[in-house]
Amino acid sequence: MLQKIVETADYIKGKVAKIPSYAIILGTGLGELANSITDKKEVPYNEIPNFPVSTVEGHSGKLIFGKLGGIDVIAMQGRFHYYEGYNMKEVTFPVRVFQALGIKYLFVSNAAGGMNSSFDVGDIMLIEDHINMFPEHPLHGKNYKELGTRFPDMSNAYDKELRLLAMQVAKENDIKLQHGVYVGTQGPTFETPAEYNYFRIIGGDAVGMSTVPEVIVANHAKMNVLAFSIITDLGVIGKIVEVTHEEVQEAAKIAQPKMAYIIQEVIKRLNK
Protein backbone atom coordinates (compact mmCIF):
# COMPACT_ATOMS: atom_id res chain seq x y z
CA MET A 1 0.00 0.00 0.00
CA LEU A 2 2.73 2.50 0.96
CA GLN A 3 4.58 1.87 -2.28
CA LYS A 4 1.45 2.46 -4.36
CA ILE A 5 0.76 5.73 -2.55
CA VAL A 6 4.31 6.96 -3.18
CA GLU A 7 4.18 5.84 -6.81
CA THR A 8 0.96 7.78 -7.43
CA ALA A 9 2.21 10.85 -5.56
CA ASP A 10 5.42 10.79 -7.62
CA TYR A 11 3.40 10.59 -10.84
CA ILE A 12 1.39 13.65 -9.77
CA LYS A 13 4.53 15.54 -8.74
CA GLY A 14 5.80 14.97 -12.25
CA LYS A 15 2.63 16.49 -13.73
CA VAL A 16 2.48 19.82 -11.91
CA ALA A 17 5.02 22.51 -11.15
CA LYS A 18 3.75 23.28 -7.67
CA ILE A 19 1.94 21.04 -5.18
CA PRO A 20 -0.76 22.99 -3.32
CA SER A 21 -1.58 22.82 0.39
CA TYR A 22 -5.33 22.62 -0.25
CA ALA A 23 -7.39 19.78 -1.69
CA ILE A 24 -11.10 19.78 -2.45
CA ILE A 25 -13.37 16.76 -2.99
CA LEU A 26 -16.39 17.70 -5.08
CA GLY A 27 -19.56 15.73 -4.42
CA THR A 28 -22.57 14.76 -6.50
CA GLY A 29 -23.78 17.66 -8.62
CA LEU A 30 -21.10 19.87 -7.09
CA GLY A 31 -18.53 19.73 -9.86
CA GLU A 32 -19.13 23.30 -10.94
CA LEU A 33 -16.70 24.68 -8.38
CA ALA A 34 -14.16 23.45 -10.89
CA ASN A 35 -15.33 26.20 -13.27
CA SER A 36 -14.00 28.81 -10.84
CA ILE A 37 -10.54 27.23 -11.01
CA THR A 38 -8.21 29.08 -13.38
CA ASP A 39 -4.90 28.06 -14.99
CA LYS A 40 -6.27 24.55 -15.02
CA LYS A 41 -4.50 21.32 -15.64
CA GLU A 42 -6.71 18.25 -15.67
CA VAL A 43 -5.66 14.66 -15.20
CA PRO A 44 -8.34 11.99 -15.79
CA TYR A 45 -8.39 9.30 -13.11
CA ASN A 46 -7.83 6.59 -15.70
CA GLU A 47 -4.40 8.07 -16.46
CA ILE A 48 -3.29 8.08 -12.82
CA PRO A 49 -1.46 4.94 -11.73
CA ASN A 50 -3.26 2.99 -8.96
CA PHE A 51 -6.31 5.28 -9.03
CA PRO A 52 -9.69 3.54 -9.16
CA VAL A 53 -12.00 4.75 -11.97
CA SER A 54 -15.28 6.41 -11.00
CA THR A 55 -18.36 4.92 -12.64
CA VAL A 56 -21.43 6.66 -11.27
CA GLU A 57 -23.45 9.07 -13.39
CA GLY A 58 -22.72 12.72 -12.54
CA HIS A 59 -19.14 11.99 -11.46
CA SER A 60 -16.77 12.78 -14.28
CA GLY A 61 -13.61 11.54 -12.64
CA LYS A 62 -10.55 13.75 -12.87
CA LEU A 63 -8.04 15.61 -10.77
CA ILE A 64 -7.95 19.33 -11.45
CA PHE A 65 -4.92 21.42 -10.60
CA GLY A 66 -5.16 25.21 -10.74
CA LYS A 67 -5.92 28.36 -8.84
CA LEU A 68 -9.04 29.08 -6.81
CA GLY A 69 -9.21 32.76 -5.94
CA GLY A 70 -5.56 32.96 -6.99
CA ILE A 71 -4.42 30.16 -4.67
CA ASP A 72 -3.13 26.76 -5.83
CA VAL A 73 -5.54 23.89 -5.18
CA ILE A 74 -6.13 20.30 -6.24
CA ALA A 75 -9.76 19.34 -6.81
CA MET A 76 -11.17 15.87 -7.20
CA GLN A 77 -14.08 15.99 -9.61
CA GLY A 78 -15.82 12.73 -8.83
CA ARG A 79 -15.09 10.55 -5.83
CA PHE A 80 -15.13 6.82 -5.19
CA HIS A 81 -18.19 5.54 -3.40
CA TYR A 82 -18.34 2.35 -1.39
CA TYR A 83 -21.63 1.39 -3.10
CA GLU A 84 -19.84 1.25 -6.45
CA GLY A 85 -18.03 -1.82 -5.19
CA TYR A 86 -14.73 -0.29 -4.11
CA ASN A 87 -13.36 -1.32 -0.76
CA MET A 88 -12.58 1.37 1.81
CA LYS A 89 -8.86 1.41 0.99
CA GLU A 90 -9.80 2.24 -2.61
CA VAL A 91 -12.43 4.81 -1.58
CA THR A 92 -9.84 6.65 0.50
CA PHE A 93 -6.77 6.10 -1.71
CA PRO A 94 -6.84 9.67 -3.11
CA VAL A 95 -6.70 11.06 0.43
CA ARG A 96 -3.58 8.98 1.08
CA VAL A 97 -2.06 10.42 -2.07
CA PHE A 98 -2.93 13.93 -0.85
CA GLN A 99 -1.18 13.04 2.41
CA ALA A 100 1.93 11.92 0.52
CA LEU A 101 1.82 15.19 -1.43
CA GLY A 102 1.86 17.15 1.83
CA ILE A 103 -1.71 18.49 1.65
CA LYS A 104 -2.64 20.11 4.95
CA TYR A 105 -6.27 21.11 4.38
CA LEU A 106 -9.05 18.99 2.95
CA PHE A 107 -12.39 20.47 1.86
CA VAL A 108 -15.18 17.99 1.27
CA SER A 109 -18.65 18.39 -0.18
CA ASN A 110 -21.59 16.08 -0.65
CA ALA A 111 -25.29 15.92 -1.41
CA ALA A 112 -27.37 14.70 1.49
CA GLY A 113 -30.89 14.11 2.72
CA GLY A 114 -31.92 16.40 5.58
CA MET A 115 -33.55 14.94 8.69
CA ASN A 116 -33.57 18.13 10.74
CA SER A 117 -37.06 19.62 10.44
CA SER A 118 -35.67 23.16 10.16
CA PHE A 119 -33.81 22.26 6.95
CA ASP A 120 -35.02 23.02 3.40
CA VAL A 121 -33.96 21.63 0.06
CA GLY A 122 -31.06 23.75 -1.21
CA ASP A 123 -29.70 24.56 2.27
CA ILE A 124 -25.99 24.27 2.91
CA MET A 125 -25.09 22.39 6.10
CA LEU A 126 -21.72 22.92 7.71
CA ILE A 127 -20.78 19.47 8.98
CA GLU A 128 -19.86 19.67 12.66
CA ASP A 129 -19.48 15.97 13.30
CA HIS A 130 -20.40 12.61 11.84
CA ILE A 131 -21.77 9.18 12.67
CA ASN A 132 -20.11 6.34 10.80
CA MET A 133 -22.68 3.76 9.69
CA PHE A 134 -20.52 2.15 6.97
CA PRO A 135 -20.08 -1.61 7.34
CA GLU A 136 -16.32 -1.41 6.71
CA HIS A 137 -13.82 0.92 8.37
CA PRO A 138 -11.17 2.62 6.23
CA LEU A 139 -8.52 2.01 8.91
CA HIS A 140 -9.36 -1.67 9.34
CA GLY A 141 -6.27 -3.85 9.13
CA LYS A 142 -2.58 -3.21 9.54
CA ASN A 143 -1.70 0.28 10.72
CA TYR A 144 1.24 1.92 8.98
CA LYS A 145 2.95 4.22 11.48
CA GLU A 146 4.16 6.31 8.55
CA LEU A 147 0.53 7.14 7.79
CA GLY A 148 -0.78 7.78 11.29
CA THR A 149 -1.47 6.41 14.72
CA ARG A 150 -3.33 3.13 15.42
CA PHE A 151 -6.11 4.82 17.41
CA PRO A 152 -6.71 8.25 15.92
CA ASP A 153 -8.55 10.89 17.88
CA MET A 154 -11.79 12.07 16.25
CA SER A 155 -12.84 14.81 18.68
CA ASN A 156 -12.15 17.59 16.17
CA ALA A 157 -12.72 15.66 12.93
CA TYR A 158 -14.26 18.76 11.36
CA ASP A 159 -11.79 21.39 12.43
CA LYS A 160 -13.28 23.99 14.76
CA GLU A 161 -11.14 26.86 13.48
CA LEU A 162 -12.06 26.12 9.88
CA ARG A 163 -15.73 25.93 10.84
CA LEU A 164 -15.49 29.32 12.53
CA LEU A 165 -13.87 30.78 9.44
CA ALA A 166 -16.62 29.32 7.24
CA MET A 167 -19.29 30.75 9.55
CA GLN A 168 -17.62 34.15 9.42
CA VAL A 169 -17.54 34.12 5.61
CA ALA A 170 -21.19 33.00 5.42
CA LYS A 171 -22.30 35.70 7.84
CA GLU A 172 -20.43 38.49 6.07
CA ASN A 173 -21.97 37.46 2.76
CA ASP A 174 -25.52 36.75 3.93
CA ILE A 175 -25.24 33.08 3.07
CA LYS A 176 -27.60 30.92 5.10
CA LEU A 177 -25.64 28.15 6.76
CA GLN A 178 -27.19 25.27 8.64
CA HIS A 179 -25.14 23.19 11.08
CA GLY A 180 -25.31 19.56 11.94
CA VAL A 181 -24.20 15.98 12.17
CA TYR A 182 -23.72 13.94 8.98
CA VAL A 183 -24.59 10.27 9.00
CA GLY A 184 -22.56 8.27 6.48
CA THR A 185 -24.26 5.16 5.10
CA GLN A 186 -23.30 2.66 2.44
CA GLY A 187 -26.30 3.23 0.11
CA PRO A 188 -27.13 2.82 -2.72
CA THR A 189 -30.75 2.91 -1.53
CA PHE A 190 -32.05 6.18 -0.20
CA GLU A 191 -33.56 5.75 3.26
CA THR A 192 -36.93 4.37 4.16
CA PRO A 193 -38.98 6.75 6.32
CA ALA A 194 -38.18 4.57 9.34
CA GLU A 195 -34.44 4.80 8.58
CA TYR A 196 -34.54 8.60 8.27
CA ASN A 197 -36.38 8.68 11.59
CA TYR A 198 -33.80 6.37 13.17
CA PHE A 199 -30.89 8.50 11.93
CA ARG A 200 -32.62 11.57 13.37
CA ILE A 201 -33.12 9.86 16.72
CA ILE A 202 -29.47 8.82 16.99
CA GLY A 203 -28.37 12.40 16.44
CA GLY A 204 -28.12 12.92 12.70
CA ASP A 205 -29.16 16.05 10.82
CA ALA A 206 -28.32 14.86 7.31
CA VAL A 207 -27.53 11.52 5.68
CA GLY A 208 -25.47 10.60 2.65
CA MET A 209 -23.34 7.90 1.07
CA SER A 210 -19.85 9.42 1.23
CA THR A 211 -17.49 11.77 3.10
CA VAL A 212 -17.08 9.79 6.35
CA PRO A 213 -14.38 7.44 4.94
CA GLU A 214 -12.35 10.30 3.46
CA VAL A 215 -12.67 12.39 6.62
CA ILE A 216 -11.53 9.49 8.82
CA VAL A 217 -8.43 8.96 6.69
CA ALA A 218 -7.74 12.71 6.53
CA ASN A 219 -7.83 12.82 10.33
CA HIS A 220 -5.55 9.79 10.54
CA ALA A 221 -3.26 11.78 8.25
CA LYS A 222 -3.54 14.85 10.53
CA MET A 223 -5.14 17.05 7.91
CA ASN A 224 -7.57 19.79 8.86
CA VAL A 225 -11.00 19.10 7.40
CA LEU A 226 -13.87 21.37 6.46
CA ALA A 227 -16.98 19.75 4.98
CA PHE A 228 -20.40 20.76 3.68
CA SER A 229 -23.59 18.94 2.81
CA ILE A 230 -26.00 20.36 0.30
CA ILE A 231 -29.47 19.30 1.38
CA THR A 232 -31.06 17.86 -1.75
CA ASP A 233 -34.11 16.13 -0.28
CA LEU A 234 -35.84 15.85 3.06
CA GLY A 235 -36.07 12.84 5.33
CA VAL A 236 -38.44 14.64 7.67
CA ILE A 237 -41.66 12.87 8.62
CA GLY A 238 -44.51 14.41 6.62
CA LYS A 239 -42.13 15.84 4.01
CA ILE A 240 -40.70 12.61 2.58
CA VAL A 241 -41.31 12.27 -1.15
CA GLU A 242 -39.83 10.00 -3.79
CA VAL A 243 -36.16 10.87 -4.45
CA THR A 244 -34.20 10.32 -7.66
CA HIS A 245 -30.51 10.78 -8.39
CA GLU A 246 -31.43 13.39 -11.03
CA GLU A 247 -33.35 15.49 -8.50
CA VAL A 248 -30.44 15.25 -6.08
CA GLN A 249 -28.07 16.53 -8.78
CA GLU A 250 -30.45 19.36 -9.73
CA ALA A 251 -30.90 20.53 -6.12
CA ALA A 252 -27.14 20.39 -5.52
CA LYS A 253 -26.46 22.54 -8.57
CA ILE A 254 -28.54 25.43 -7.26
CA ALA A 255 -26.75 25.71 -3.92
CA GLN A 256 -23.24 25.04 -5.12
CA PRO A 257 -22.10 28.58 -6.08
CA LYS A 258 -22.60 29.70 -2.47
CA MET A 259 -20.70 26.72 -1.10
CA ALA A 260 -17.94 27.28 -3.64
CA TYR A 261 -17.69 30.90 -2.55
CA ILE A 262 -17.32 29.93 1.11
CA ILE A 263 -14.58 27.42 0.30
CA GLN A 264 -12.73 29.94 -1.86
CA GLU A 265 -12.90 32.63 0.84
CA VAL A 266 -11.79 30.26 3.60
CA ILE A 267 -8.76 29.24 1.52
CA LYS A 268 -7.93 32.91 0.87
CA ARG A 269 -8.05 33.72 4.57
CA LEU A 270 -5.95 30.70 5.49
CA ASN A 271 -3.38 31.71 2.94
CA LYS A 272 -2.93 35.26 4.29
Closer residue to ligand HPA in complex, CB, 24/112: 112
**Nearest-angstrom CA–CA distance, 150 and 129:** 21
Residue 44, Cβ density class (10 Å: 0-12 exposed, 13-18 middle, ≥19 buried): middle
Query: Total number of residues binding ligand HPA (CB under 6 A)?
Result: 13
**Nearest-angstrom CA–CA distance, 190 and 253:** 19
Instruction: State the binding string over 180-219 for ligand HPA (x if CB under 6 A, else -).
Output: ----------xx---------------xxx----------
CB of 253 to ligand HPA, least distance (A): 13
Is the sign of the CA dihedral 166, 168, 169, 173 positive or negative? positive
Of all residues in the shown chain, the one whose CB is closest to ligand HPA is: 113
Beta bridge pairs of residue 179:
126
Closer residue to ligand HPA in complex, CB, 232/264: 232
Closer residue to ligand HPA in complex, CB, 115/165: 115
CB 34 within 8 A of CB 64: yes
Is the sign of the CA dihedral 145, 213, 115, 158 positive or negative? positive
CB of 245 to ligand HPA, least distance (A): 8
Q: Which amino acid is at 20?
A: P
Q: Specify the stretch interacting with ligand HPA by CB under 6 A; choose among 30-38, 82-90, 105-113, 119-127.
A: 105-113
**Nearest-angstrom CA–CA distance, 227 and 263:** 9
CB of 41 to ligand HPA, least distance (A): 30
CB of 143 to ligand HPA, least distance (A): 30
Contact footprint for ligand HPA (CB under 6 A): 111-113, 190-191, 207-209, 232-233, 235, 243, 248
